[in-house]
Chains A and B, each alone.
Chain A
């Protein structure tokens, strides 16, 4: 693991240096990313220009959900999002190059073309989150205060696990980065809206089967003092770290299986 982290640090540092070689272009792309990701929040604002509550949630509450989900997703996307491009490496056979290097493949894949511009997404999510914290009227107990950073970290870990599992799936499917984005971007979009909006089966699915609900819905309902639609007990909010851990373990297992089953394209 130490070796992997070292490789990850070295490769990402290399990519950061190469991006910073063109500073203006870098600044523009960060700004561009910020705008693009900001658009879905603008859509929420537009909706709230027509209504006062959506699914029983007010604008600051939805912004809180949005901020948590977007920031957690941004963290995962920055650290490990490059793994989504694994499919093209499998297809053209360049993965072989990574296999012969004396560093863990996952670290290399995750740091491949490390895109610092994804800071734009984190910044945008954090801005919305910050605004919502100011606008919300919450009775801040120590548990609730602690819940916010813990949620961000666990959310980042859960999304990272989804990214890795998706990459592992691409060993088999090769050209299925779109399926992966259905789970990653789709999951993130889903979590921007209150759980009360969605059908019961869907909420059940993302809570127990594909547990992205622990990225923000479950912990946020604790912080906001709202009952979770499925009638989960209040202590469920504190299980996010366990869920995150389980997700990472499963993703790691999937990755290993995927990597073992890898056969090069040959010539």
Chain B
């Protein structure tokens, strides 16, 4: 039931955004290099990937933070598997389920009701799927860093809130990143959030080649995972785990 409810919500928000974008692109055709059909496709891609990429949180990070706060994380560190890989596997599973469960229906609805700019060649779709998986890893990398901040901050509400704000804004959920004006646009397009929604969308609509998209995403994925590893090392060496 929760999944069905989520699908409904994504569809409603998608509708609202589509109409505003249509008005915006009506006023300024080719804003950010997109035409209307591409802007519409971008909306539905965003709604479809919203839950998968946990842009508004809702992945593993709240659970991990809670385990850090209660000290249960000590048990996780005992396990004969690596903490980061454990949660990565956990989160990829969730993301894949939500891609199918929450992504397909809003996307199909959008593609049927509005004119969209989707390719019909299967290779592009395959490349798109690869980009989505890379986006999932980047998304995990960001949220893993935020969750680990719990070792020092203990209460993660503020960090989570900051993550949601930057996530929604910098991933292009409110406005595609290529429509951001001037230097602000250049900055957000270089940040890791651009690897989440903008890259797969641009790839699917032929705005960018697969190799440069993959490279951008992979660089951020590796950098974030490495940073997570360093932070995890620092946390396990230096921080005393909560407990009683």
Q: Are A178 and B164 in contact (CB under 8 A)?
A: no
**Most chain A beta carbons < 10 A, residue from B1, B20, B169, B174:** B20
Contact of B165 among A36, A179, A189 (CB under 8 A): A36
Q: Is B154 an interface residue (CB 8 A)?
A: no
Interface residue? A253 (CB, 8 A): no
Could you say which of B24-32, B90-98, B227-235 contacts chain A?
A: B24-32
| Ranked 6 nearest A-B pairs via Cβ | A178-B5, A43-B174, A182-B9, A197-B23, A51-B27, A182-B12
Interface contact B161-A36, CB-CB below 8 Å? yes
Q: Are A39 and B168 in contact (CB under 8 A)?
A: yes
User: Contact between A189 and B13 (Cβ–Cβ < 8 Å)?
Assistant: yes
Cβ-neighbour of A175 out of B1, B12, B175 (below 8 A)? B1
B→A interface (CB under 8 Å): 1-2, 5-6, 8-9, 12-13, 15-16, 19-20, 22-24, 27-28, 31, 157-158, 161-162, 164-165, 168-169, 174-175, 179-181
Say if the beta carbon of A249 comes within 8 Å of chain B.
Answer: no
**Contact (Cβ within 8 A) B180 A39:** no
Q: How far is the CB of B106 from chain A (nearest CB, A)?
A: 11
Would you call A39 and B20 a contact (CB within 8 A)? no
A93 within 8 A of B: no
A173 touches B1 (CB 8 A): yes
A29 to B20 Cα, complex, angstroms:
30
A39 lies within 8 A of B165 (CB) = yes
Question: Given the complex of chains A and B, what is the CA–CA distance between A198 and B23 in angstroms?
Answer: 8
Distance of A193 from chain B, by nearest CB (Å): 5
Of the A-B pairs whose beta carbons lie under 8 Å apart in the complex, a sample of 13, sorted by A's number, is: A46-B175, A50-B31, A50-B179, A50-B181, A54-B27, A173-B1, A177-B5, A178-B2, A181-B9, A186-B12, A189-B16, A194-B23, A196-B23
Q: Which residues of chain B have C-beta atoms less than 8 A from A197's C-beta?
A: 19-20, 22-23
Chain A-chain B contacts (Cβ-Cβ < 8 Å), number: 95
Give chain A nearest CB distance to B101 CB in angstroms: 13
Does A227 count as interface, using CB distance less than 8 angstroms?
no
Sort chain A's interface into a size bin.
35 or more
User: In the docked arrangement, what's the CA distance between A174 and B179, Å?
Assistant: 40
Cβ–Cβ < 8 Å partners of B164 in chain A? 36
Q: How far is the CA of A155 from the CA of B58 in the complex (A)?
A: 31
Chain B facing A: main interface SS: helix
- Enumerate A160-190 residues with CB–CB distance to B below 8 Å: 173-179, 181-183, 186, 189-190
A202 and B24 alpha carbons, distance in the complex (Å)? 18
Q: Which chain B residue lies CB-closest to A54?
A: B23
User: B16 and A186: CB pair below 8 A?
Assistant: yes
Task: Let me know if A225 is at the binding interface, CB within 8 A.
Answer: no
Min distance, Cβ A192 to any Cβ of chain B, angstroms: 9
Interface string of A28-48 (1 = CB under 8 A from B): 110010011001101100110
Does the CB pair A55–B9 fall under 8 Å? no
Contact between chains at B157 and A29 (CB < 8 Å): yes
Contact of B16 among A54, A174, A176, A190 (CB under 8 A): A190
Complexed CA–CA distance, A52 and B161 (Å): 32
B163 smallest CB distance to A (angstroms): 11
State whether B158 touches A182 (Cβ < 8 A). Answer: no
Select which of B1, B13, B19 is within 8 A of A199 by beta carbon: B19
CB distance B174 to A193 under 8 Å? no
Closest Cβ of chain B: how far from A141's Cβ, in Å? 30
Residues of B within 8 A of A55 (CB): 23
